[in-house]
Amino acid sequence: MEFDIKKYKDTKKSNTGKHFFITTYGCQMNEEDSEKLSGMLKRIGYTKTESIEDASIVLFNTCCVRENAENKVFGNLGMMKKYKRKNPDLIIGICGCMMQQEGMADKVLKTFPYVDIIFGTHNSYKFPEYLNRVKTEGVQVKEILNKETEIIEGIPIDRENSTKAFVTIMYGCNNFCTYCIVPYVRGRERSRKSEEIIKEIKELVSKGYKEITLLGQNVNSYGKGLEETIDFAKLLRLINEIDGLERVRFMTSHPKDLNEDVISAIKECDKLCEQIHLPVQSGSNRILKEMNRHYDRERYMYLINKIKEEIPNATITTDIIVGFPGETEEDFNDTLSLVKEVGYNAAYTFIYSRRNHTPADRMENQVPDDVKHERFNKLVQAVNEGVIRSNKEYEGKIVEILVEGPSKNDETKLMGRTRNGKLVNFAGDKSLIGQLINLKIVRAQPFSLVGELL
């Protein structure tokens, strides 16, 4: 179904000069959702601001994968009371994964009655309608759909970056890992038609974008349920044929679905970056079974070795959870040994966080917090040792980077990434932003590289 912004065009004049502020929590898919919310607001006359004080609308796009993210949302909603008291016309909205949890929307309204709009992940495209109702009828709007809708194409999007962009290829997840709330808040897997994906990427290239990252909770499941005969490897090969596109990345891959055809596509397609994010979560077969991951350590290591054999210069990154219910010291040591065996280039490490309505939340033998933190610190140390060793290997090498913008740590310098995802900081003119250039790596740092222009 195609999105229609035209029915809200009569509100544009009244919104001119007004500003909106969006705070985003969570993953890249949430970031893209916020870009769409921003795109819709700009199309009906609003201007984005980085200051809550200047905003007529404040939106919180939430995440519920971990408890810490929820606590931040509650804290920020509490702070909004003073802004609402100062400006009664301020419109406060909250959306995203957190709102899809059973009873959460009612909890928010009871605790923070000054919130004006609440909606979930399945109906964010209706935000202009909700906003219009609040403004014209003076009502609170709460609409949470319990079932995913058909995919809506053509939603305006306000990209955060002018060099690289996210492109969602599928929504939802069917895996039901026992610790994960995503299938409950994002719904079942739905793939976009390949023609819509290709069309979006071609439009981005025509605007000067050099790199796109394909998004999905499990990109390797792409194509299931579509009328066309296509899978993820075939989609990658189609995208690789787009003229003017320089780089393609993707995330996230599920080890149970990653196959040799996808690995071959990365090897054979010149625009596919040699970087694979392959979440392992645990190195223990017993824990992997309890997590309902549908692969074991041996299958995972087969994939790792196949990647290293076929794509020797590939970087491999992962996600790891520490302290899953029932995790013993032996289980944890299995994870440590796997980390050392793989030699990850980076890892997103997490302390297990209980999530309501997930099977793991009801499991006995929850690991004490002090044990979780002790294991977490050991894991981070093991990961970092591997990352530092990997970075040292780049000293003296010539690498190609896509210049993304000013360095986050030093705005007098620029930053970019190699094809395989290594972050490089260097001194250079801002006219280089958006260009592919070669640098010599002069120094390896723990989590980045320092380069110089040739």
Name the pairing type of β-strands 436-444 and 398-406.
antiparallel
CA 159 from centre of chain: 14
The answer to whether 95 is a known ligand-binding residue is no
27 is in an annotated binding site: yes
pLDDT value at position 300?
98
pLDDT, tens digit, for every residue of 189-238? 999 999 999 999 999 999 999 999 999 999 999 998 899 999 999 999 99
pLDDT number for residue 2: 75
User: What's the confidence (pLDDT) of residue 11?
Assistant: 67
Q: Helix crossing, 194-206 with 232-240: angle to 10°? A: 30
- How far is Cα 442 from Cα 51, in angstroms, rounded to an integer? 39
d(C-alpha 61, C-alpha 129), whole Å: 17
Three-state secondary-structure class, residue 226? coil
Q: What ranges in 120-222 are assigned the alpha helix state H? A: 127-137, 182-186, 194-206
- Enclosing H/E stretch for 42: helix 28-43
**Terminal Cα-to-Cα distance of the chain (whole angstroms):** 50
Structure tokens at 85: 């008291």
Nearest to 123 by CA among 141, 102, 104, 108: 141
For helices 127-137 and 28-43, what crossing angle results, to 10°? 50
Is 307:260 a contact under the CB 8 Å cutoff? no
Cβ-based neighbours of 12, under 8 Å, separated by 6 or more: 43, 44, 45
Q: Do 84 and 114 touch, CB atoms closer than 8 A? A: yes
Sign (positive/negative) of CA torsion 195, 200, 205, 209? negative
**Which residues on neighbouring strands pair with residue 351, listed in sequence order?**
322
Residue of 179, 187, 255 whose CA lies nearest to 219:
255
Burial call 390-408: b when 16+ CB within 10 Å, e when fewer: bbeebeeeebebbbbbebe
Q: Are 91 and 108 in contact (CB under 8 A)?
A: no
Eight-state DSSP code of residue 272:
B
Nearest CA-CA partner of 291 in 144, 175, 190, 411: 175
Distance CA 14, CA 2 (A): 25
Provide the 10 A C-beta neighbour count for residue 343: 15
Regions of the chain short of the pLDDT cut 50: none
How far is it, in rounded angstroms, from Cα 360 to Cα 366? 9
Predicted confidence at residue 422, as pLDDT, reads 95
pTM higher than 0.85: yes
CA distance 142 to 268: 49
173 annotated ligand binder: yes
Name the residue among 314, 347, 375, 337 with its Cα closest to residue 447.
Answer: 347
Length of the chain measured in residues? 454
State yes or no: 64 annotated in a binding site.
no
pLDDT at 9: 63
* Number of C-beta neighbours around residue 102 at 10 A: 12
Question: Within the chain, what is the greatest distance between any pair of CA atoms?
Answer: 65
